[in-house]
Amino acid sequence: MGLWSAYRLRVRRRARLFRAFRRRRELAVVANRTGRIGKDDILLFSTLRDEHVRLPYFLEYYRELGVDHFLIVDNDSTDGGREYLAGQEDVSLWTTRASYKRARYGVDWLNWLQRRHGHGHWCLTVDPDEFFIYPFCDTRNLRALTDWLDISEIRSFGAMLLDMYPKGRIDAAAYQSGQNPLEIANWFDSGNYTILKNPQLRNLWIQGGPRARCFFPRNPAMAPALNKIPLVKWHRSFAYVSSTHALLPRGLNLVYDEWGGEKASGMLLHAKFLNTFPEKAREELRRRQHFAGSREYKAYGEHLQEDPRLWCQWSEKYINWRQLEILGLMSKGNWA
């Protein structure tokens, strides 16, 4: 990397951090329990809106996994989710009515909280419909993973987004609060992903899966990105660039091996496509607060209106992480 491009990336990173700094005023404290965060605690960051129905299972899942403290930005929920979160002892909660879009889809807010509270901690950044799995997650908790990453001197850990969907109509079964959404949405596409490399930030750009297959068959370049780097040993100088797809400094984006080997990686099981989805899509389309004029939601609207199915005869039914490892979607790397 030349000095000039190094300098430009540095400027870009500083600009991110400055944006985050400016937007900190948009966040109003609802419950600040960050004083309880211990020295080695694993933190989870999330921003959400009207996800009350998902929250009980979401918190349960990540507590079980080994998250010690949740830092959540509520973007003007009206469904009671804010009050619910405020009552949880391991949650610190901020709220804002400001524009999600102008805060770079929430990244600015979280960058600020990560800078403030994440320094020196392993930080997991996920949405309420994303469920993190990693090699051996059925027998080793998150601490085992982060300890191993520490010993191996790895600062960031990749986990591709895997869109999960039910067999049949996505609105056939009604999701109940507290239920594991993966009981309903337990199918996925196993082998139709495309990968490009972003030469500037060096992150991979992965697309494909049911959304590319069903919503963007004529316009695959528009299909949403599935590459994510949700787990990072945070330093106050780090910043997410767009969602959790890429970070600066860009060395953090090298979660893949370039010489033929495999690095260890996980998955984010994306339980977005439940019966709650069509309503959500209509709402988001109305608010126009999502990426690129919410084109994703437009495409969903068009396709799901007629026939809300993503399942096909070659869909794979989810069993466990080992299955995903064998299918080549994730890897144990040298963790044994």
Q: Binding string, 291-320, against another protein, x = CB under 8 A?
A: ---------------------xxxxx----
Crossing angle of helices 277-287 and 291-306, in 10° steps, is: 140
Q: Does 40 bind another protein (CB under 8 A)?
A: no
What's the token pair of residue 145?
């993973």
Q: Can you tell me the distance from the alpha carbon of 51 to that of 307, in angstroms, rounded to the nearest whole number?
A: 24
Query: Is residue 205 classed as helix, strand or coil in its secondary structure?
Result: strand
Task: Return the residues of window 267-296 that contact another protein according to CB under 8 A.
Answer: none
List the one residue from 9, 144, 173, 285 that touches another protein (CB under 8 A).
144
Judged by CB under 8 A, the stretch of 97-105, 241-249, 257-265, 297-305 that binds another protein is 257-265
Determine the straight-line distance between the first and last CA of the chain, rounded to whole angstroms. Answer: 34
Minimum distance from residue 210 beta carbon to another protein (Å): 7
* Rounded-to-integer distance, Cα 142 and Cα 62, Å: 9
Q: Does 224 bind another protein (CB under 8 A)?
A: no
Told to check if 39 binds another protein by CB under 8 A, we report: no
Q: Which of residues 170-189 bind another protein (CB under 8 A)?
A: 189
* Residue positions counted in the chain: 336
Rounded to the nearest whole angstrom, what is the least distance from the CB of residue 127 to another protein in the complex?
18
Using CB under 8 A, pick the residue from 204, 225, 241, 274 that binds another protein.
204
Give the DSSP letter string of 32-98.
Answer: --GGG--TT--EEEEEESS-GGGHHHHHHHHHHHT--EEEEEE-S--SSHHHHHHT-TTEEEEE--S
- Which is closer to another protein, CB of 138 or CB of 306? 138
Beta-ladder partners of 231: 124, 157
In Å, what is the CA distance from 244 to each residue of 4, 272, 326? Answer: 26, 17, 25
Give the number of residues in contact with another protein, rule: CB under 8 A.
Answer: 60
Name the minimum Å distance from CB 140 to another protein: 5
Q: How far apart are CA 285 and CA 107, in angstroms?
A: 20
Indicate whether 115 belongs to the interface with another protein (CB under 8 A). no
Distances (CA, A) of 210 to 95, 165, 171, 234: 33, 9, 16, 32
Contact flag: residue 332 with another protein (CB under 8 A): yes
From 220, 237, 288, 293, residue interacting with another protein (rule: CB under 8 A): 220
Q: Which helix (H) or strand (E) holds 228?
A: none
Q: How far is the CB of 225 from another protein (least distance, A)?
A: 11
Collapse the DSSP code of 9 into the 3-class scheme (helix H, G, I; strand E, B; otherwise coil) and give the result: helix
Nearer to another protein, 8 or 322 (CB): 322
Rounded to whole angstroms, how far apart are CA atoms 269 and 181?
10
* 334 belongs to the binding site for another protein (CB under 8 A): yes
d(CA 44, CA 46): 7
The one among 71, 206, 241, 304 contacting another protein by CB under 8 A: 206
Residues that bind another protein (CB under 8 A): 136, 139-140, 143-144, 147-148, 151-153, 158-160, 189-197, 204, 206-207, 210, 212-213, 216-221, 227, 255-265, 312-316, 328-336
